[in-house]
Amino acid sequence: MSNLVRIILCSLLTVGTVALFWFGHWGWGILAILIVLLAWVTVFFNEKMLIAQWFLRKENMAKAEVWLKKIKNYEKELTPAQHGYYNMLLGLIESQRAPLQAEKYFKKALSLGLHMDHNIALAKLSLAGVAMAKRNKREAEKLLSEAKKADKNKLLDEQIKMMKGQMAMMDRQQIRYSR
């Protein structure tokens, strides 16, 4: 369903809710407010993306992927602000199966734009992990420092420290093998 149709339906629901209050049906009016709020949320946030994010938080990657695959043409179904998040969710799912294949999704998410700093940090942290897997230490260090800058609320601080520790272990192993 296109956003224009959703906006028209939400506007009609809003008018109906006002009418319920106008005619004194307070109980139904309060219920209608909740329905109108839910309807307006689907105008700005795609319900399939919301459900996929919920399954990702529950660490059920299979169901999250099913819901993301229901979005056939993300450029038409999602608002431009959601394009980056769609690719980031695909990258998170793909990183569980094949981390090196997830790189293209994270890069595309960053190029399309992510609006929240912690999401930018997560994408850069994931790209740093891919760079480490490719043994590209310089790129991994650069992405880790960018992730640390973007993580203003220190939500990923522990993961960043863990990845720096893994890089240090990689360096020690390289020194040991080069001798």
What residues does each domain of the chain span?
A: 1-44, 46-178
pLDDT by residue, tens only, the chain of 179 residues: 677 888 999 999 999 999 999 999 999 999 999 999 999 988 888 889 999 999 999 999 999 999 999 999 888 888 888 999 999 999 999 998 888 889 999 999 999 989 899 999 999 999 999 998 888 889 999 999 999 999 888 888 899 899 888 888 877 776 666 65
pLDDT confidence of residue 5: 87
pLDDT confidence of residue 93: 93
Read off the pLDDT of residues 115-152 as tens digits, 9 standing for 90 and up.
899 999 999 999 999 998 888 889 999 999 999 999 88
Cα–Cα dist 55/75, whole Å: 22
3-state secondary structure of 118: helix
Mean pLDDT, the chain, integer: 89
CATH domain 46-178 topology: 1.25.40
Residues 60, 83: contact at Cβ < 8 Å? no
pLDDT confidence of residue 44: 82
Backbone angles phi, psi at 128, to 5 degrees: -65, -40
